[in-house]
Amino acid sequence: MRVHVVRVETWTESIALTRPYAIAFQATDRVELGCVRVELDDGTSGFGCAAPVEEITGESFAACTAALMRARELRGDDPRIQARLEAEFVATPAARAAVDGAIHDAVGRKLGRPLVEVFGRAHKPLPTSVTIGIRSLADTLSEADEYLARGFTILKIKIGEALEHDIERLARLREHVGGAVILRADANVGYDVRAIERFCAETERFDIEFLEQPAPRALDDELRSLPASIRARLAADESLFDVSDALRLAREPHPFGIWNLKLQKCGGIAPARRIARFAEAHGIDVMWGCMDESVVGIAAALHLAYHCPATRYLDLDGSLDLARDPFRGGFALRDGVMHTLDATGLGVERNA
């Protein structure tokens, strides 16, 4: 259905992380958010949130904020607004995702149904991974124990600084947690092709579910030379931003058997839905990922994940370490499994 937007409100939030962390190319202890509320002609509201990281989404927080200021001028039917977002917010995908998410939230609220039910649900609730940054071995094992005690069953380990250390750390972690826990690894562009081959060979006995974005996107074509058994277990993240990237990565042989879709990278629910359909058509599995962001952004990804048939994995832990959140609700997390709420739209409310 079409909705008519009469007002767009934006504001910013600076929020500390309760657990600062490091990945292969940066350390993070705070998140800057750009929040959005849209109002429809019948008074219905919807919420969205931007969480830009320049190294990942390609936009600075200043650029995102400037884009959200322009978004305050948006009025009219949502197809017209979506067309403007696609044409005018190309360089600021997180800002676009915030407005897009708010409109979709408003659509669900207006219809009186959860957004996933508006789209059509394809999946029962799935478990999410929870991420351990680049840390000492002792801290890695301690953090793993904490997450397992909280009911999580999937751990994603940030690696990519030093191959030898990465392999040893994963070996000790697997020994520590046993075989029932699923381990994933994310190198955040820290390797080259030779290092990927060695990593896969030397960690085979540790049963690593997949390796996320092991090399810079400039090496994507070199990945096509790897054996199919390796490529099937590689997940694209920094190599996949938009539909043009999807077209490139869908060419045979696929450099990645898994695509990590993040709404903040691709511009929101509408473009992510198109990319997920494309992945399905080309036999590529989809993982839904996130930034450090509010529950409203996590909920948007979750509703879309449960709608898309190609969904196989969730990595939606980005709100768990915020010292405070501009919003509440969005989902229920029970023993590491993510459940949508029986609430309209995205199921979120603004915190006072």
Query: What would the pLDDT profile of 40-83 be if each residue is shown by its tens digit?
Result: 999 999 999 999 999 888 899 999 999 999 999 999 999 999 99
- Reduced DSSP (H G I as helix, E B as strand, rest coil) percent helix, strand, coil of the chain, to 5: 40, 25, 35
Q: Which tokens go with 306?
A: 């449960």
CATH, range 116-350: 3.20.20.120
The predicted structure's pLDDT at residue 19: 84
Question: Residue 314 pLDDT more than 90?
Answer: yes
pLDDT digits (tens, 9 = 90+) for 174-231: 999 999 999 999 999 999 999 999 999 999 999 999 999 999 999 999 999 999 999 9
Rg, C-alpha atoms of the chain: 20
pLDDT digits (tens, 9 = 90+) for 243-261: 999 999 999 999 999 999 9
Neighbours of 125 (CB within 10 A): 16
Residue 299 identity: A
Cβ(222)–Cβ(191) below 8 Å? no
pLDDT digits (tens, 9 = 90+) for 224-249: 999 999 999 999 999 999 999 999 99
The predicted structure's pLDDT at residue 4: 96
Tell me the H-state helices in the chain.
54-57, 61-71, 78-88, 93-111, 115-119, 137-149, 163-177, 193-203, 220-223, 228-231, 243-249, 263-266, 269-281, 295-307
* Residue 256: DSSP 8-state: -
What's the rounded Cα separation, in Å, for the pair 218 and 86?
25
Tell me the H-state helices in 12-77.
54-57, 61-71
What's the rounded Cα separation, in Å, for the pair 164 and 166?
5
For 38, the 3-state DSSP assignment is strand
In total, the chain counts a number of residues equal to 352
The predicted structure's pLDDT at residue 345: 98
Nearest to 99 by CA among 251, 269, 262, 248: 269
What's the rounded Cα separation, in Å, for the pair 196 and 184?
14
Residue the block writes with tokens 């979120």: 348
pLDDT digits (tens, 9 = 90+) for 77-135: 999 999 999 999 999 999 999 999 999 999 999 999 999 999 999 999 999 999 999 99
Half-sphere exposure of 322 (CA within 13 A, CB side): 23
What's the rounded Cα separation, in Å, for the pair 115 and 199?
40
Question: Residue 24 pLDDT more than 70?
Answer: no
What's the rounded Cα separation, in Å, for the pair 186 and 136?
16
Find the Cα–Cα–Cα–Cα dihedral 114, 329, 66, 244, rounded to 10°: -50
Question: Residue 25 pLDDT more than 70?
Answer: no
Which class would CATH give 4-115?
Answer: alpha beta
Question: Residue 352 pLDDT more than 90?
Answer: no
Give domain limits for the chain. 4-115, 116-350
The predicted structure's pLDDT at residue 21: 67
From the number of C-beta atoms within 10 Å of its C-beta (0-12, 13-18, 19+), residue 306 rates as buried
Question: Residue 27 pLDDT more than 70?
Answer: no
Nearest to 150 by CA among 268, 317, 341, 36: 317
